[in-house]
Structure 1
């Protein structure tokens, strides 16, 4: 399918690719969503299998998860090539013919896709513009892009959040979106932070995506304010100040971009989940630890006892030397 998308002439986008890609992405969204729900539930459900079947079951689950992850990356790679316009530098030293050259080209292309937002221009391809015109296909692309943010795949989350989500959503930002749809888009990003926020790269990308959505849609949709207020341990006073600057364009220009980003990041701290290695860690609290070395008590000495120069009374006794 990727080769078909790359090689198809533009005059056949409407007649061939749109009727083909629309049902394909819809079908893959349903299948992948079902599989990822099963994978996410495995971390919370406790199996009741006996020990003899446990090792075989774990091996099978790991194989299934790896296959689902690979298929997910292929689907998102196809979506990215079909919709997102990228600036990829030409790889050096690759010949035009030969199987080895083709594999090297595919490897280089894959690395460019996972490189991050620097490779994306934020614009749609000609095929992407054609797909967006069909509302059903466009909604499927938006749904699969924002749903995959909460799937347990950090690489896919980072790539999709940095290259796909905002590029697709910005096409309808100025339109009349339903309030429930706006809340769902924003909540999907917060779910991604809860799943992958402990990774600094994903945290930065998802926070930037959440800020783009909030800054552009908050003035027209008060529902986003209600979603932010539900974040655990959110500072409502800071949120109110951010909203006031956002709703009054004359004051928001006085606030630096870095300071705005840091302020918004602090508001989302409550959504960031713990890493897997920290989720089941038992906190140790030891109070009133005994002293390692016992302090010796100073000996009590009588001031009237004999000292180096004699008794205390002898100090006041006149001697021949004092006369």
Structure 2
């Protein structure tokens, strides 16, 4: 039986290898397909999709079945190089060329030899690195003014099919950034530690004895990091008033939020009526906006992928925290929310998650000390504006599209920042969403996510990085206030995320004796406000009641102020408060029983605060009075005595 199974597997492998040349020929023929009458500058949407899917299929095969392509690697490389020639008939677009090179990098991950793989990565990146350095040497990345001139933002708009130096500059920059991004994402060391050791990927061991591997692309990518950070700084600087004044009138609005991103955020994306055969014709303003938006997101995906891909090769760079602060986090007061989201969602989350423990204080602490007060002020201002807008909407029954958009943006930004704080304070994992290549927004519905379990609320402990952040004066207050603000804001999803963080934070601050009466009052009030706003949601209510009972138990012995907060609850019974204090001070019950009693008491005390859902607010009890009595006539029942003789005779 085993031999038959092995025979079948070998047969499949042989048949796959036999069909591979035909499959590759079909993919490459589709990739270069151009119908009559269409040029490179005027391809239809359908044609672009077909060619893009053919190139992406090579990446998919290289990712899932690299060992199948490894024996024919040289032939695939020769084909890709032939198709990528500028004077060739394939006329590949920049993204098509980059995608094919990414497929080669994926296959090279199975060379099993660091030197060979690193040399190949250098050959792939040679053209992009040379162009990037030429752009740097031209002075285009010195500042916003030079960059605006380099890409033609200060000149009148030029039609699509017109040859101009600024258009070529944009194309070269786009190619460089996306190929470097592809190398960072695709190049990796072997998953098997033994293969990594044999191949020369392991350079040292961690404090716990795990191998530290080096990325084959690191020697070719790390030298470009200062220039990449300069480009990102320029993107932030473009939003300053001085830079805005340099932009030509025909390009005004190119930095605005794209309509597709607005539609994604508002959930207005539907099926397009375009069949795809029409030529894609964009105005110069639309092309410039698309270029800037795509390049901006590619830059953040690039540095966001550096942490997981390069590891210690990145965090070991001298003065990395200062470089990040002076580039990625520069001019944040001018950056709008829709451009702040990639910084939080794509860069910060993976940057914090991937940082090795020895670099917490050297790298992460200065970065978070810089950005956490800025984000607190930004979110606090947004929260107030959204509340004012919602109150005005209720009174006037009128909702402006821009105000609704700001509401959704604030919700998204709040949730994403809380996700970053969760990774920093208690640990977490990177979701596929943070590494996706688009900034598609998850559904921003008002319905809360599934509730956290009761054990999660009590078992979460502050991580080593969290201890550093909570014990540092530059980060503690801004982080704690951001979590409490999210807890008691109008978004139920954000409140649920903050609920998981509030308990561990308060527990640790109590252990460290870092709280005072004013802060204890603020914490207790935030929990009660959250119950008022979100108590009608079953998921939020259970978590908040558990959290409230825990917070009161932690703070009540040291701060009489929390009792005064509880006494201000409308209709509160002093006897119930006294019972809760007795349970906390010296309980007669033990184990889970006391926890349930405390939670039930807390629920009884705060019952008047918990609101009802809209569906239950005006519910009218159904009452039918004076129903006529239904008289049921009883049938007369006669006792029937069976004839036993008949029964026996029938048997």
Of 364, 370, 376 in structure 2, the residue corresponding to residue 29 of structure 1 is: 376
Distance 1:156 1:253, change over 3 A: same
Once the 2 structures are TM-superposed, how far is the Cα of residue 4 of structure 1 from its aligned partner?
A: 1.2
1:44 aligns with 2:391: yes
In 2, the alpha carbon distance for the partners of 1:102 and 1:144 equals 25
1:230 aligns with 2:568: yes
Once the 2 structures are TM-superposed, how far is the Cα of residue 140 of structure 1 from its aligned partner?
A: 1.4
How do 1:100-115 residues align onto structure 2 when only pairs under 5 Å count? 103=436
Once the 2 structures are TM-superposed, how far is the Cα of residue 13 of structure 1 from its aligned partner?
A: 1.7
In 1, the alpha carbon distance for the partners of 2:470 and 2:388 equals 34
Structure 1 counterpart SS, 2:391: coil
In 2, the alpha carbon distance for the partners of 1:284 and 1:128 equals 49
1:9 aligns with 2:346: no
Of 407, 411, 420 in structure 2, the residue corresponding to residue 65 of structure 1 is: 407
Correspondence for 1:302: none
Deviation track 1:167-189 (CA, whole Å, cap 9, x = no partner) reads 11111213152111111100001
Q: Which moved more, 1:152-161 or 1:186-195?
A: 152-161
Distance 1:100 1:128, change over 3 A: closer
1:132 aligns with 2:132: no
User: Does the 8 Å contact 2:389/2:403 carry over to 1?
Assistant: no
Correspondence for 1:167: 504
Correspondence for 1:206: 544
Q: Which moved more, 1:146-155 or 1:131-140?
A: 131-140
Correspondence for 1:304: none
1:77 aligns with 2:77: no
TM-score, L = length of structure 2: 0.37
Correspondence for 1:320: none
In 1, the alpha carbon distance for the partners of 2:435 and 2:517 equals 47
In 1, the alpha carbon distance for the partners of 2:377 and 2:371 equals 10
In 2, the alpha carbon distance for the partners of 1:205 and 1:221 equals 23
Once the 2 structures are TM-superposed, how far is the Cα of residue 17 of structure 1 from its aligned partner?
A: 1.2
1:271 aligns with 2:271: no
Deviation track 1:173-229 (CA, whole Å, cap 9, x = no partner) reads 131521111111000010001110101110111111111111122122221111111
In 2, the alpha carbon distance for the partners of 1:286 and 1:125 equals 53
Once the 2 structures are TM-superposed, how far is the Cα of residue 103 of structure 1 from its aligned partner?
A: 4.1
User: Does the 8 Å contact 2:470/2:509 carry over to 1?
Assistant: no
Once the 2 structures are TM-superposed, how far is the Cα of residue 134 of structure 1 from its aligned partner?
A: 0.7
In 1, the alpha carbon distance for the partners of 2:487 and 2:434 equals 33
Once the 2 structures are TM-superposed, how far is the Cα of residue 43 of structure 1 from its aligned partner?
A: 3.1
Correspondence for 1:18: 365
How do 1:139-288 residues align onto structure 2 when only pairs under 5 Å count? 139-161=477-499, 163-174=500-511, 175=513, 177-247=515-585, 249-251=586-588, 253=590, 256-276=594-614, 281=618
Distance 1:47 1:116, change over 3 A: closer
Once the 2 structures are TM-superposed, how far is the Cα of residue 246 of structure 1 from its aligned partner?
A: 2.3
Correspondence for 1:300: none
In 2, the alpha carbon distance for the partners of 1:260 and 1:290 equals 41
Once the 2 structures are TM-superposed, how far is the Cα of residue 32 of structure 1 from its aligned partner?
A: 0.9
Distance 1:256 1:35, change over 3 A: same
Once the 2 structures are TM-superposed, how far is the Cα of residue 60 of structure 1 from its aligned partner?
A: 2.2
In 2, the alpha carbon distance for the partners of 1:28 and 1:176 equals 23
Q: What is the number of residues matched between the two proteins?
A: 268
> Which runs of 5 or more residues in structure 1 are unaligned?
92-98, 108-112, 294-323
In 2, the alpha carbon distance for the partners of 1:267 and 1:225 equals 12
* Structure possessing the higher relative contact order (Cα contacts under 8 Å, 6 or more residues apart): 1
In 2, the alpha carbon distance for the partners of 1:205 and 1:101 equals 26
User: Does the 8 Å contact 1:193/1:272 carry over to 2?
Assistant: yes
Deviation track 1:102-143 (CA, whole Å, cap 9, x = no partner) reads 549x99xxxxx9763566741222322222231231121111
Distance 1:100 1:143, change over 3 A: closer
User: Does the 8 Å contact 2:450/2:539 carry over to 1?
Assistant: no
> Which runs of 5 or more residues in structure 2 are unaligned?
1-347, 441-448, 629-651
**RMSD (Å), alpha carbons:** 3.5
1:116 aligns with 2:458: no
User: Does the 8 Å contact 1:246/1:252 carry over to 2?
Assistant: no
User: Does the 8 Å contact 1:73/1:156 carry over to 2?
Assistant: yes
